[in-house]
Amino acid sequence: MPKPRPRLDALLAPAGTPRAIIERFNKELNAVLATEEVRQRLALEGGEPIPGAPEAYAADIDREEMKWSKLVTAIGRREE
């Protein structure tokens, strides 16, 4: 049986947010995720920080959307 994918939480910004704001926010968020205090708190809740670049997470979202849209199409599910 395949290993279940862990739950992922993310912070997203509205479309059109200036790149400079995205870069600053990402830099600060990654710095906070690297602190021992935050790592310990997340561990208590069963989590693990995965810092990274916005482009990497955008690629993950695109892959997941493609995977699940194929399933939705295959079973004939439509928007309600």
Q: Which residue has the higher pLDDT, 6 or 46?
A: 46
**Confidence (pTM):** 0.68
Q: Determine the straight-line distance between the first and last CA of the chain, rounded to whole angstroms.
A: 32
Lookup result for tokens 């992922």: 8
On the question of pLDDT at 11 being above 90, the answer is: no
Provide the pLDDT for residue 1. Answer: 67
Provide the pLDDT for residue 6. Answer: 67
58, 60, 62, 64: CA torsion to nearest 10:
-150
**Structural tokens at position 34:** 């690297």
